[in-house]
Amino acid sequence: MSYVNPGGEYSRDSRYLTTRVTADGRDGFPVEPGRYRLVVSRACPWASRAVIVRRLLGLESALPMAVAGPTHDERSWTFNLDPGNRDPVLGIERLQEAYLARDPSYDRGITVPAIVDVPTGMVVTNDFSQITIDMSLEWAEYHRDGAPALYPSALRSEIDAMNEAVFKDVNNGVYRAGFAGAQEAYAEAYDRLFARLDRLAERLEASRYLVGDTITEADVRLFTTLVRFDAVYHGHFKCNRQKLTEMPVLWAYARDLFQTPGFGDTVDFDHIKQHYYTVHRDINPRGIVPVGPDLSSWLEPHDRAALGGRPFGDGTPPMPTVPEEAVPTGHTALAP
């Protein structure tokens, strides 16, 4: 399976299933607790957004989660972490089966996150950008007491603008560098990535969070790239001007979020490394997975609280992770 574009610039396939699960059910899929299954891989940054937002909002019971293994082949993600290599609720071995249940001729990416309708066994949506917004807005009736406002109406336009810039230059920018098939395409992506990171650092030097004084959707989206930076993107994708640990403001910001309940306790560094270094054989032909980096520094003091801000606004932190969703000991810097 090839990821590098031999013609030069990498272009992400964005042909997603855009059906939505909404409070009024206007697309035929109303919000109903327990009806749907959120399929994720902890390796994937796009899926990790959904894992974090679900946990911050307390949707664990309303929207149960299936965790696929960290690697996949040409066909799809598999449920090889589950007994019998099958998801215990959907009864399938591969996520591909849920996509084909939706459309037997489906020829697009078998991606995570995906929301699967349990009664029919078919994927409703894999539109990762909209999924987390809908968790905030459409699933509001089932938020936990004290859930934060991750997409407040007063800041929505600013959050959207920030998300667009971060996606183009950072979230997708690391892929544009890593999967470039020509020097010019790589250099352009590299320059855009670090120019944007520099601008974000300037912004975060005086502000604890990206938009407003609380955690929002914008912070979630930036975090999932930053937390993978040194483990994967710096070397594997050649984003090597500096490591995250060598960018003081962004490193402190990332540690602040990592140490916030709902962020670091969802991160599985083992799955992250297994995925990138094993799956991308056109970049790493022998599939050798690095042993490092040392994770203990994620728990060092960040001193970001001095900037003010209230992580959860008028809300409260989420409860501890339920045991069945805890990241295995040794896969994270956090104690079990």
Q: Would you please indicate which residues are annotated as catalytic (active-site) residues?
A: 44, 175
Structure tokens at 331: 């896969």
Query: How many CA atoms lie less than 13 Å away from 265 in the CB half-sphere?
Result: 20
Alpha helix positions (H), 205-247? 217-226
Q: How far apart are CA 273 and CA 290, in angstroms?
A: 7
Provide CB contacts within 8 A for 164, sequence distance 6+: none
Task: Collapse the DSSP code of 217 into the 3-class scheme (helix H, G, I; strand E, B; otherwise coil) and give the result.
Answer: helix
Structure tokens at 154: 């007063």
**Treating both helix axes as pointing N-terminal to C-terminal, what angle do 217-226 and 248-258 enclose, rounded to 10 degrees?**
110
Structure tokens at 97: 């089966």
Provide CB contacts within 8 A for 199, sequence distance 6+: none
Structure tokens at 324: 């069945």
Provide CB contacts within 8 A for 298, sequence distance 6+: 255, 258, 259, 264, 333
Under 8 Å between Cβ of 95 and 37 = no
Under 8 Å between Cβ of 177 and 235 = no
Q: How far apart are CA 68 and CA 283, in angstroms?
A: 23
Under 8 Å between Cβ of 68 and 79 = yes
Provide CB contacts within 8 A for 122, sequence distance 6+: 98, 99, 101, 102, 116
Under 8 Å between Cβ of 121 and 97 = yes
